[in-house]
Amino acid sequence: MIYVLDDDQDFLEIMVAYLNRMDLEHTTFSDPEEYKAKVIENAPQLSLIDLNFKGSEKGFNLIKGIRSRGDSHPIIVVSGSKNPEALTYALECGASDYIFKPIDRPTLNNKLSNFIHSSELENWLGMEVEVPNGGEKVSLLFDGEVISIDELGFEMATTHFIPAGTQLQISGSIWSEIFDGKSQLSFFVSKSTYNREMDCFKSHCDYLDITDEQLSGIRNWILKKQE
């Protein structure tokens, strides 16, 4: 069980989507007091907590309070700031590690794998993709169709199997439509399966290093399609 504490509801929704895709049990909290009570009642495998809240409670105090009771479960600090002094102090208070916002799934996978056991994480981390010529980029042309798009990524049906862990850039008419041909996104294949009914491979892809402008373009495109 993973506990996620943050007073940003949008961030919590993103974390729920990520953890669901990883098939990891989780509970979210927006109230530090509710989180503290739950930790005392039943400590999780791991906590992801924000450092700053709207009230007087701070992540530093939460961590110190948890450690003062002898609770040693891993705590990963989630921070929108890269202030080295604050992060160093968080570690001194008892944090196990830290991760910066905005979070992408590959980074989250790596952080979680340091502290918890999960077959889903092991499958992702154990995947190796051979690339010819010592790691040079390779262009591939294959038939594929985008099935769905959301703010976290997209799902596509293809005639070829793309291993989980593959990083790629895709060009196509749908991305030209969303960005007026001015932008190209990088993606990370989080899961690939064979669909017998459709007789094709279905790949779940997450965005990599997406900018606020690109995310806004995707949101606007989704809203137009829903009209």
Domain ranges across the chain: 2-125, 140-226
Res 187: pLDDT: 82
pLDDT score of 177 more than 70:
yes
pLDDT score of 136 more than 70:
no
Helix/strand/coil for 100? strand
pLDDT score of 128 more than 50:
no
- pTM of the predicted structure, to 2 decimals: 0.56
Give domain 140-226's CATH number out of 3.40.50.1970, 2.60.40.10, 2.40.10.220, 1.10.10.920: 2.40.10.220
Res 41: pLDDT: 93
Query: Residue 56 gets which letter from DSSP?
Result: S
Res 3: pLDDT: 96
C-alpha atoms less than 13 angstroms from C-alpha of 169 in its C-beta half-sphere: 10
Mean pLDDT within 93-105: 84
Mean pLDDT within 173-191: 71
Torsion of the alpha carbons at 103, 106, 112 and 118, rounded to the nearest 10: 140
Cβ atoms < 10 Å from Cβ of 123? 12
Question: CA separation (Å) from 144 to 190, 201, 205?
Answer: 17, 9, 13
Which among 73, 98, 75, 72 is positioned nearest to 85, based on CA atoms?
98
What tens digit of pLDDT does each residue of 54-93 get?
A: 655 578 889 999 999 999 899 999 888 778 888 888 889 9
**Comparing 140 with 130, which gets the higher pLDDT?**
140
For the domain made up of 2-125, give the CATH fold.
Rossmann fold (3.40.50)
What's the CA gap between 18 and 145, in Å, rounded? 23
Mean pLDDT within 3-29: 88
Res 129: pLDDT: 35
